Structure 1
Amino acid sequence: MAVSVRDVAEAAGVSVGTVSNVLNRPEKVSAATVARVHDVIARLGFVRNDAARQLRAGRSRAIGLLVLDLRNPFFADLARGAEERAAEHGLSVFVVGSDEKPERERAAIDLFEQQRVFGMLLASAGDDLPRLRQLQQRGIPVVLVDRESPDAAVPSVAVDDVDGGRLAGEHLLSIGRRRIAFVGGPASIRQVTDRLEGVQQAVAAVPDATLEFVGTAALSVLEGRRAAERIAGRLASSRPQAIFAANDLLALGLIQGFVMTGAVRVPDDIALIGYDDIDFATAAVVPLSSVRQPAALIGATAVDLLVGATDQTGGPAHVMFQPELVVRASTTG
């Protein structure tokens, strides 16, 4: 039979309330009593029932983190940053990937709510503001991650993706490329449209520059390879001179596709830049230029905002980091 709190109290010669204080608020108990209770806990093999405690408290000590794609190293780094910071607050992180599908996002949010999570960090594709407000009204704090909040009442932490797109476009223009393509999609993902807007601004500032949009069904290596095959199959005179990929996975797929076809050399024929600066960017066949996001810092900051929201100290916070251009061989040769 499992050892109960009452068993510990009787063996230690203290009340059940004192044992509870030792476990949850030890500063309220004398050092000698804390030591005696812990000795009894060790001797009897008592294991606290956190599930029951959390049920009574109305929420767990787990944070629900929803990300677009668990296969993307950017989100793995973001999750690691969130986990490390959560541990400092005595919290854990429960990660779910949506595969960029709105129905999976809705199911994940429902699951988080059913599990009575401490709060939710949502790196999602859609803007379901009524649902977010409903969660807040039910006492579940929410922080939008890797995207700017469309509602001042919903905290967020993000990178300025419009500026990141502009940085990528200006870099490609600065090396003399004028026919530029943006490869990315689907357009329902806010990060994609923001990065596209940024490169559009850069191209619009140069009179003889043009921008082509090459849509993809997902932000994956496979979709990058498919896009490369379509581009490589065109006449050389009609191909772009440079490509800005919406993320590094697409860019790596583009490099793979160009190598496989043998029709396009990077950067000689087409200069290529990605977004996120994942670890694999430096290990590509042609080291990849990229726009860097501080993934781990984004995750850690999101946890800080979530904890602040539960403390209800001040209004919702919105943190915007600035992206950084990292130049490698895919644009410089």
Structure 2
Amino acid sequence: MATPSIKEVARHAGVSVGTVSNVLNKPWIVTPPLRERVQRSIEALGFVRNEAARHLRAGRSRTIGLVVLDVSNPFFTDLAAGAEELAADHDTVVMLCNSRTDPVRERHHLDQLEQQRVLGILITPVGTHNNKLLTAMAARGTPVVLVDRAAPSGDHCAVSIDDHLGGRRVGEHLIERGHRRIIFIGGPLTIQQVADRHEGITAAVAAADGVSLETLELPSMSAEQGRTAGDAIAARAPESRPTAAFCANDMVALGFLQAMAARGLAVPGDMAIVGYDDIEFAATAAVPLSSVRQPPDLLGRTAMELLQVEVEAPEGHRHRQVIFQPELVIRESSALAHNSGGSAHDN
């Protein structure tokens, strides 16, 4: 059966050939309804670009695709280094792709990687937007391993951290230090790791008397967003301000810490701060940052190991879920016990 052409896709979708080309090459410039219509036609017709067909005839490449949320976050660069180290032992190379927490960019990268006939894909997904695509890719012969994300459906191998437990440990730590007004800062909550960390601290707060949890959802997890959040919190009157902040990653926490310093608030005296990931900069910050430690290089190596096993023996392969336990590293930013002056800490 002949592979349908781009003209047939355009005719099926009722759009121009140029629109189909844009969906394939620059999807972010196409409106979502139009993009979805073209994608439905591509899937309905089973369209595969000529480039993919050429690679199919030549055999698969020796490339592994790695799609991460944010390459500016040292956590993901360390994860990539771990994956690359093991890939070199198997005579493969890693192609790093940055989704920027955008499901459209993520899908574009996945389409490109499949067209390049990569051996397999490691991915930290943005959310559930492209789950069906990942499952379809695996069914077509491109193994997929989730990294820093569990696979509840069991459709893929996965390597993750128990983020719910990590969030709970942060909550328990802050409550033990006497904090009764806590804020969670991070987002978007559609990212599963962020949601799990939020659920963890929510559970810890729910189990304690007289403790409140505020949630400030961010559009992205950058130091700039952390500074913006810090400025807004610092501008509040002391009696309405939380006394402790759990930031969903260290980049947000470091930006938040900078804002506290710029506003003249003491850490941890006026505001305790805990981050997540324990990147190298956490320990060397102006106020050393408490953080939940993850082993990114181990995550990367383990994910690559699982992928290589599936690549080498796809028949009868059984997917594995590897879950690591987080470790709370307490440093100066949250080390002191908090005394609220009698408003919430009296006995």
CA-to-aligned-CA distance 1:213-253 (integer Å, 9 cap, x gap): 01111100000000001000100011111110000000000
Letter in 2 for 1:167: R
Instruction: Tell me, in whole angstroms, the C-alpha distance in 1 between the residues paired with 2:243 and 2:267.
Output: 10
Does the residue aligned with 1:255 lie in a helix, a strand or coil?
A: helix
Q: Within 5 A, what are the aligned runs for 1:179-328?
A: 179-262=181-264, 264-310=265-311, 311-312=313-314, 314-328=317-331
TM-score if structure 2 supplies the norm length? 0.79
Change (3 A) 1:314 1:115: closer
Instruction: Tell me, in whole angstroms, the C-alpha distance in 1 between the residues paired with 2:90 and 2:161.
Output: 24
TM-score if structure 1 supplies the norm length? 0.82
Gap regions ≥5 residues in structure 1: 1-52
Does the residue aligned with 1:240 lie in a helix, a strand or coil?
A: coil
Change (3 A) 1:242 1:60: same
CA-to-aligned-CA distance 1:8-48 (integer Å, 9 cap, x gap): xxxxxxxxxxxxxxxxxxxxxxxxxxxxxxxxxxxxxxxxx
Instruction: Tell me, in whole angstroms, the C-alpha distance in 1 between the residues paired with 2:279 and 2:131.
Output: 30
CA-to-aligned-CA distance 1:122-147 (integer Å, 9 cap, x gap): 11212222111110111000001101
Letter in 2 for 1:80: A
Does the residue aligned with 1:66 lie in a helix, a strand or coil?
A: strand
Which residue of 1 is the match for residue 75 of structure 2? 74
Give how far 1:178 is off: 1.2
Confirm whether residue 332 of structure 1 aligns to residue 335 of structure 2: yes
Letter in 2 for 1:282: A
Does the residue aligned with 2:101 lie in a helix, a strand or coil?
A: coil
Instruction: Tell me, in whole angstroms, the C-alpha distance in 2 between the residues paired with 1:141 and 1:162.
Output: 27
Q: CA RMSD in A?
A: 1.6
Instruction: Tell me, in whole angstroms, the C-alpha distance in 1 between the residues paired with 2:292 and 2:283.
Output: 13
Q: Within 5 A, what are the aligned runs for 1:141-152?
A: 141-152=143-154
Does the residue aligned with 1:168 lie in a helix, a strand or coil?
A: helix
Which residue of 2 is the match for residue 93 of structure 1? 94
Give how far 1:57 is off: 5.0
Which residue of 1 is the match for residue 47 of structure 2? none
Does the residue aligned with 1:217 lie in a helix, a strand or coil?
A: coil
Does the residue aligned with 2:173 lie in a helix, a strand or coil?
A: helix
Letter in 1 for 2:149: R
Runs of 4+ in 1 over 4 A off after TM superposition: 53-57
Give how far 1:58 is off: 2.4
Conserved? CA contact 2:55–2:116, under 8 Å: no
CA-to-aligned-CA distance 1:135-185 (integer Å, 9 cap, x gap): 011100000110111321211100000001011111111111111100011
Percent of aligned pairs sharing the same letter: 50
Does the residue aligned with 1:257 lie in a helix, a strand or coil?
A: helix
Give how far 1:56 is off: 4.4
Change (3 A) 1:73 1:187: same
Which residue of 2 is the match for residue 121 of structure 1? 122
Larger radius of gyration, structure 1 or 2? 1
Give how far 1:204 is off: 0.8
Tell me the number of residue pairs that the alignment of Structure 1 and Structure 2 aligns. Answer: 282
Instruction: Tell me, in whole angstroms, the C-alpha distance in 2 between the residues paired with 1:55 and 1:125.
Output: 28
Instruction: Tell me, in whole angstroms, the C-alpha distance in 2 between the residues paired with 1:57 and 1:244.
Output: 51
Confirm whether residue 156 of structure 1 aligns to residue 148 of structure 2: no
